[in-house]
Amino acid sequence: MSEKKFPISPERLEEIIKKHPTPFHIYDEKMIRANIRRLFKAFSWAPSFREHYAVKAAPNPRLLQILREEGAGADCSSLPELLLADAAGMQGEKIMLTSNDTPADEFQKAIELGAVINLDDISHIDYLEKNAGFPSCLSFRYNPGSLIEGNDIIGKPEEAKYGLTREQLFEAYRIALSRGVKRFGLHTMVISNELHADSFINTARLMFNLAVELKNKLGIQLEFVNLGGGIGIPYRPEENEVNIEYVGQGIRQAYEAIIQPAGLDGMAIAMELGRAITGPYGYLVATVLHEKKTFKDYIGLDACMADLMRPAIYGAYHHISIMGKEAAPCDQTYDITGSLCENNDKFAIDRQLPKIDIGDRVILYDTGAHGHAMGFNYNGKLRSAELLLHEDGSIELIRRAETIDDYFATLRYEGSVL
Ligand SMILES: *Cc1c(COP(=O)(O)O)cnc(C)c1O
């Protein structure tokens, strides 16, 4: 079971809304810090543990700054993400570029920042060398194909566009060695939103064995193995969180059994968790605008799928509560909708909730990763603000809401009607 509890009282929320109108996402700084500390502690046995927070999960430099203060680096997959990590004070090899179908300017920026570059394909070796040159530390993304099952969100590895096959991987390191690269890492990311702790341990074992093979066949002493992101969170109250201490201990056993006897001790373990770090500590706050009763009972919010897309695109569950009605019986059945002209703009379908009134404040849980980040402007919808809840209860605006001017900005060219 996972407890769903909004960290702000109804009275305090009303004060906040007076200054910052709904909808907005709000992030709980204290809990994010506590959570990443717990991750570092679970891997404190490792000679060196690196968390490169997946910037795409919550691309806000203020959040990145908090994570940097806690020791995290960044995993970037675009030029703007590299710039955000840099702006948040992340430096050098704290930044890792894991992109695919990568354009030259992204590689060039990564080189300029001194980042680790993680190549998605064997053909990118030539492209990188020609367009940007090699970084001090180069990594390759491994796609284990049918050796690993994958899951619903990311699909089967052999259907995934990412990474190199096993044969290509050995060839790629061989080529990079021959071109003078001296420092190497190895990466994979095969699961997404996975709640089974053992799948991470199994992935680690597979990667550790590969690290040993690379040493035996090519003489490469890997500096790190990066196990990617993908640890899930309990979106549903009846689900359980992944026990990170258990994962840490399981990976430790694999490390001691495989890495140490092979003489690779000192090799770092890296991860690129996004969702598991900030996901549970973000909330989308919205207000009920309308109730409509036709074939079903619809509650219309001032938020829409531009603010949170996961229910619409994955059919994902996000827990919902009505402010001040936490103890009321859930004896009504509603579809909770946004205003987009798309019938899948529904945050919940046939959800059992307490009786809802116009003006009620609605809390959508677990929006701290892949929430605001996935927003878009279809239908002229503007994206919401982001707020940070500090430990002392004060609020910081860390992204203002989009304005119509923002939306029109790209339409203002010479001779434009706007
Ligand atoms: C999306 C992504 C992540 C983060 O995934 P989470 O599910 O948020 O942990 C990490 N690495 C890569 C390469 C990704 O594409």
Place of tokens 């809390």: 363
Quick check: is 332 in a domain?
yes
Ligand 1 pocket mutation pick from 50, 75, 120, 152 by most atoms within 8 angstroms of CB:
75
Average pLDDT over residues 126-155: 86
In this structure, the answer to whether residues 254 and 303 fall within a common structural domain is no
In this structure, the answer to whether residues 193 and 89 fall within a common structural domain is yes
In this structure, the answer to whether residues 53 and 163 fall within a common structural domain is yes
Quick check: is 402 in a domain?
yes
* pLDDT at 153 (0 to 100): 55
Q: Is the pLDDT of residue 185 over 70?
A: yes
pLDDT, tens digit, for every residue of 240-259? Answer: 999 999 999 999 999 999 99
pLDDT, tens digit, for every residue of 276-326? Answer: 999 999 999 999 999 999 999 999 999 999 999 999 999 999 999 999 999
* pLDDT at 156 (0 to 100): 75
pLDDT, tens digit, for every residue of 152-163? Answer: 555 677 788 899
* Residue 369 CB neighbour total at 10 angstroms: 28
In this structure, the answer to whether residues 288 and 258 fall within a common structural domain is no
Query: What residues pair up with 337 in beta bridges, in sequence order?
Result: 300, 346
Beta strands 320-322 and 361-364 are antiparallel
* pLDDT at 193 (0 to 100): 93
Q: Which of 241, 260, 278 is the last residue of a domain?
A: 278
- Whichever domain contains 342, its CATH number is 2.40.37.10
Quick check: is 16 in a domain?
no
Percentage of residues of the chain with pLDDT beyond 70: 98
149 pLDDT band, cuts 50/70/90, is low
* pLDDT at 145 (0 to 100): 87
Average pLDDT, the chain: 96
In this structure, the answer to whether residues 94 and 205 fall within a common structural domain is yes
Q: Which domain, by its residues, includes 127? A: 29-278
Ligand 1 centroid vs 246 CA: distance in angstroms?
Answer: 21
The domain tally of the chain equals: 2
Alpha carbon separation from 187 to 75, 142, 167 (Å, rounded): 12, 6, 15
- Whichever domain contains 274, its CATH number is 3.20.20.10
Q: Cα(208)–Cα(187) distance, rounded to whole angstroms?
A: 11
Degrees, nearest 5: CA angle 60-62-63: 70
Q: Is the pLDDT of residue 78 over 80?
A: yes
* pLDDT at 3 (0 to 100): 87
Average pLDDT over residues 263-276: 97
| Nearest atom within ligand 1 for CA of residue 274 | 8
| Nearest atom within ligand 1 for CA of residue 118 | 13
Ligand 1 centroid vs 383 CA: distance in angstroms?
Answer: 22
**Nearest residue by C-alpha to atom 13 in ligand 1:** 98
* Six token digits for residue 14: 């009303």
Quick check: is 17 in a domain?
no
Q: Check if 56 has its Cβ closer than 6 Å to any atom of ligand 1.
A: yes
* pLDDT at 128 (0 to 100): 98
pTM: 0.96
In this structure, the answer to whether residues 293 and 262 fall within a common structural domain is no
In this structure, the answer to whether residues 119 and 226 fall within a common structural domain is yes
Q: Which of 253, 278, 303 is the last residue of a domain?
A: 278
139 and 226 Cβ atoms separated by less than 8 Å? yes
Q: Cα(358)–Cα(331) distance, rounded to whole angstroms?
A: 17
Residue 21's contacts (CB-CB under 8 Å, 6 or more residues apart) are 401
In this structure, the answer to whether residues 268 and 284 fall within a common structural domain is no
In this structure, the answer to whether residues 273 and 328 fall within a common structural domain is no
Q: Cα(217)–Cα(262) distance, rounded to whole angstroms?
A: 13
pLDDT, tens digit, for every residue of 11-63? Answer: 999 999 999 999 999 999 999 999 999 999 999 999 999 999 999 999 999 99
Q: Cα(401)–Cα(373) distance, rounded to whole angstroms?
A: 13
